Amino acid sequence: MVVTLETNIGTVYGETYYTVHPVIQPVWQSNPAEWNSMITWTIATFGPAPDDGVWTPGARWYVNSAKFWFREPADRDWFLLRWS
């Protein structure tokens, strides 16, 4: 169960990304079902993550450090609408 969705802004290779950190209870490491559902939905909605894992310049989205990183604020907003 998602308790809160913390938003912030970060940069990857000088590009602005809009982040969402889902705070999940119980902690996602011990119960990954909700976290995995978020990843599955994000792939189905926005396409696959970069082939090299993370930090490919210009990628539409990443998942890293328990956060989802979106290049476009509209993508972040769709994520927030789905999981709030």
The pLDDT value given to residue 9: 97
Is residue 13's pLDDT more than 90? no
Is residue 52's pLDDT more than 80? no
The chain-wide mean pLDDT, for the chain, equals 89
Long-range contacts at 4-11 (CB < 8 A, ≥ 24 apart): 5/80, 5/83, 5/84, 7/76, 7/80, 8/67, 10/69
Is residue 61's pLDDT more than 90? yes
pTM attached to this predicted model = 0.89
Is residue 77's pLDDT more than 70? yes
The pLDDT value given to residue 46: 97
